[in-house]
Structure 1
Amino acid sequence: MKIKKVLVSQPKPTSEKSPYYDIAEKYGVKIDFRPFFKVEGISSKEFRQQKVSILDYTAVIFTSRHAIDHFFNLCSELRVTIPETMKYFCITEAVALYIQKYVQYRKRKIFFGATGKVDDLIPSIVKHNTEKFFVPMSDVHNDDLKNLLDKNNIDHAEAVMYRTVSNDFTEDEKFDYDMLVFFSPSGVLSLKKNFPDFDQKDIKIGCFGPTTAKAIRDAGLRLDLEAPSVKTPSMPAALDLYFKEISKGDKK
């Protein structure tokens, strides 16, 4: 089956140099970008109900850019001034660099992992085990980070600072894709919410990350492409290899 139209459940890339555009041109595929969910910040009132004081902590762990946005936005709303001594531990370098949107990067103590996996960040956290860590969370999350922090006897607390809600499709939006690509369990839940009678048939499904893969299988769907892997560390790389293999099959 030739794949002609792909839905990537992420916002449209801001740069025209995105590898997704190269793939679209290389294989003659139309790629649409359309998040299945959106992220909203909780109110200051909702945050206060969790009875957590941010200034009781000396370090913050960020697992995404959303966490950074809603952490600093809520601090502003709560009129909490973050001290320059605050340390930041980020899941990747890209997430770490995003902090520049809110603070002067070079003046801060910022640490990040190399692989994007929570386990890879733990050694840096353990080296600073005298700090008190705060973890901004989504209302939809797993306990992987909490369990690792507990296992290493790290003083920490989590608090919900933002929530994930379904980005519903409208009646005039066509849903005629040959392939769907997901990046979080929330996207899979949104698919089932928008299309409760969804029948996969020949539609290919790809995903990034083990928790998303699990959500797809738990939903009774067939997973055709999973990243990251040793050969394909990113979703564009995985799609490139996948389309290359399909092209070989078509030529036989």
Structure 2
Amino acid sequence: MIKKILVSQPQPTSEKSPYFDIAKDLDVELVFRPFIKVEGLTSKEFRQQRINLLDYTAVVFTSRHAIDNYFTLAKELRVTIPEDMKYFCVTEQIALYIQKYIQYRKRKVFFGTTGKIADLVPTMVKHKTEKYLVPLSDVHNNSVTELLDAKKLQHKECIMYRTVSNDFTPEEKKAFDYDMMIFFSPTGIKALMKNFPKFKQGDIKIAAFGPSTAKEVTDNGLRLDLQAPTPEQPSMTGALKAFLEKKK
């Protein structure tokens, strides 16, 4: 019987989240507890990449973490970002977040609609003379580099933040009694094994979002009970609801 489910993500900010409907309709308790957290590089670590922020006339932001760490590093490095710096963001929400650090002006802030950098590239191509800096996490692939190279854009990728284990307190470890756990990244599984090196799965169900997360589950000798997305269930909430309904 599945009654208590750990979701390894922050609690949704919207009351309309499908997770809350699942909890209510299927009478389960959902606990939101991220297994990973993001921390910025220190200015000393960033300097080792030999990148001068002022060598670039535009910045590409793929997340709020990228924005936070770009402006934090600029402050630590005592670099004043020019008024005419241009910002290219993968969504409007991320673009609006820039207001935390600068005065928002449409002529210098551009955004895509889908959250994918590929859909932002046509806008970047219209500004072909810019020198683009792309802040990234330590966990990333070469897709951004390949996309921008293909369009012959001047760009440089750099690491500004890293994903690390969000360690459990001794109290949390004692209260660790879940019937199911849901993971969204391989790093989350690594964090589980780091925090609970003697973890025995037993009857605990494990769900994974994405093929790389699913692979990390099985690579650690764990049983994968639910995987998303699938053609039938493109979201984790949809897959979870269908899974729980079958178990009733």
Q: Same fold (TM over 0.5)?
A: yes
Shift of 1:196: 2.9
Structure 2 partner of 1:149: 148
User: Is the 8 Å Cα contact of residues 40 and 165 (structure 1) preserved in structure 2?
Assistant: yes
TM-score (norm 1): 0.82
Give the conservation status (yes or no) of the 8 Å contact 2:228–2:239: no
**Alpha-carbon contact 1:57-1:133 (below 8 Å) kept:** yes
**Structure 2 CA distance for partners of 1:70 and 1:4, relative to 1, 3 Å:** same
Question: 1:126-183: CA deviations, max 9, x gaps?
Answer: 3333221101122222222223223332211122212222111223222222222223
Tell me, yes or no, if the aligned pair for 1:37 and 1:167 is still in contact at 8 Å: yes
Equivalent in the alignment of 1:177: 178
> How do 1:169-248 and structure 2 match up within 5 A?
169-173=168-172, 174-209=175-210, 211-221=212-222, 222=224, 224-227=226-229, 234=235, 238-244=236-242, 246-248=244-246
Shift of 1:191: 1.5
Letter in 2 for 1:239: T
Q: Which letter does structure 1 place at the counterpart of 2:193?
A: K
8 A Cα contact 1:39 1:162, kept in partner:
yes
Is the Cα–Cα contact under 8 Å of residues 59 and 89 in structure 1 kept in the other structure?
A: yes
**1:172 is paired with a residue of what secondary structure?**
helix
Query: After the TM superposition, which residues 27-38 of structure 1 pair with which residues of structure 2 at under 5 Å, given as runs?
Result: 27-38=26-37
Task: Point out the more displaced range, 65-74 or 88-97.
Answer: 88-97
Cα separation, partners in 2 of 1:190 and 1:66, compared to 1, 3 Å: same
CA distance in 2, matches of 1:108, 1:230: 40
C-alpha distance in 2, partners of 1:37/1:82? 30
What do residues 27-63 of structure 1 show as CA deviations (whole Å, max 9, x unaligned)?
Answer: 2111111111222222212222221011111111112
AA partner of residue 241 (structure 2): F
Q: Write the distance in 2 (CA, Å) between the matches of 1:224 and 1:61.
A: 35
Structure 1 position 185, deviation (Å): 2.8
TM-superposed CA distance for 1:91, in Å, is 2.6
Deviates more, 1:139-148 or 1:113-122: 113-122
**Alpha-carbon distance in structure 2 between the residues aligned to 1:247 and 1:158:** 45
The alpha carbon displacement at 1:82 in A equals 1.8
Aligned pairs for 1:130-149 (under 5 A) are 130-149=129-148
The corresponding residue for 1:81 is 80
- Contact preservation (8 Å) 2:214, 2:227: no
Q: 1:14 to 1:154 in 2, by over 3 A?
A: same
How far apart are the structure 2 equivalents of 1:80 and 1:208? 39
Task: State the partner residue of 1:111.
Answer: 110
* Letter of the 1:225 counterpart: Q
What do residues 1-48 of structure 1 show as CA deviations (whole Å, max 9, x unaligned)?
x43212121223345454432321122111111111222222212222
Which structure 2 residue ranges, 5 or more long, are not aligned?
Answer: none
CA contact (8 A) 2:8 2:35 kept: yes
Secondary structure at the residue paired with 1:129? coil
Deviates more, 1:13-22 or 1:138-147: 13-22
TM-score (norm 2): 0.83
Q: Deviations over 1:195-248 (max 9, x none)?
A: 234344443333445554454455454261313x676665xxx32453245325
Q: Which moved more, 1:143-152 or 1:131-140?
A: 143-152
Q: Distance in 2 between matches of 1:244 and 1:119?
A: 32
Distance 1:59 1:233, change over 3 A: farther
Q: Summarize the Cα distance change of 1:214–1:248 in structure 2 as closer, same or farther, 3 Å threshold.
A: closer
Query: Bigger shift: 98-107 or 197-206?
Result: 197-206
Identity of matched residues, %: 61
Contact 2:26 2:244 survives alignment (8 Å): no
Residue 187 of structure 1 aligns with an amino acid whose one-letter code is G
Amino acid at match of 1:205: I
